[in-house]
Chain A
Amino acid sequence: DAGVIQSPRHEVTEMGQEVTLRCKPISGHNSLFWYRQTMMRGLELLIYFNNNVPIDDSGMPEDRFSAKMPNASFSTLKIQPSEPRDSAVYFCASSFEVAGTGELFFGEGSRLTVL
């Protein structure tokens, strides 16, 4: 079975450019999470969706970040305009259970470098 699929795996862009990261969760999972990982701040939750509805976006750094989940099999995280401090590895994860003990399944991440 396919796991969580993220694209692109690597992106290098210049400051000011728009960046779109994509995620396909595991089929049948009803929760989707976007995390950002850096050496300084570790793994930070940006936003999570349940049944395609954003539940908590309090971790989204600022208005330059937006996330959508138009259907159960696709989500995007957009940064516009990008800045060097956005450089990080962005992970998407999905889960089946609504509450409690559901295991998170992570994609391989998208490594973003903003010059």
Chain B
Amino acid sequence: TQLLEQSPQFLSIQEGENLTVYCNSSSVFSSLQWYRQEPGEGPVLLVTVVTGGEVKKLKRLTFQFGDARKDSSLHITAAQPGDTGLYLCAGANPGGYQKVTFGTGTKLQVIP
């Protein structure tokens, strides 16, 4: 079973602060995705990274895929209350079929 461990599990910060969420595994993934989930809804995709060492930016969010394609990080600059939610990383296993395994999740609260 492929496990994706996220840290921290919970994060409560003030508006304007920066933060980094980590996603680690001992397995290699063909791609890694980050989702955000709000209460009462399903996860929504933020970004997909495919190449080892890849960095993608989405406004104030920066995503990085580790060189060995086993880990990833999400950095948020100047967090806003609208960033509040559950952040999930998800790895797609190499091979012919897309099996996507989700990480343990990081619950972020941004206080105004």
Contact = CB atoms under 8 A, between A and B. Distances in A.
A33 interface: yes
B97 A104 contact: no
Contacts of B111: none
Interface stretch (A13-21, A60-68, A71-79, A94-102): A94-102
Interface string B24-52: 00000011010100001111110010100
Contacts of B63: none
Contacts of B60: none
A50 interface: yes
A100 to B, nearest CB: 5
Interface of A: 4, 31, 33, 35, 42-45, 48, 50, 55-56, 91, 93, 95, 97-104, 106-109
B90 interface: yes
Contact of B42 (A91, A98, A100, A103): A91
Given A99-B96, A101-B30, A104-B33, 8 more contacts: A42-B88, A42-B103, A55-B99, A99-B95, A100-B98, A104-B100, A109-B40, A109-B42
B99 A48 contact: yes
- What band does the interface of chain B fall in when counting residues whose beta carbon is under 8 Å from A? 20 to 34
B62 interface: no
A45 B42 contact: no
A99 B97 contact: yes
B93 to A, nearest CB: 9
Nearest to A55: B97
B7 interface: no
B98 A106 contact: no
B84 interface: no
B99 A42 contact: no
A6 B88 CA distance: 21
Contacts of B103: 42
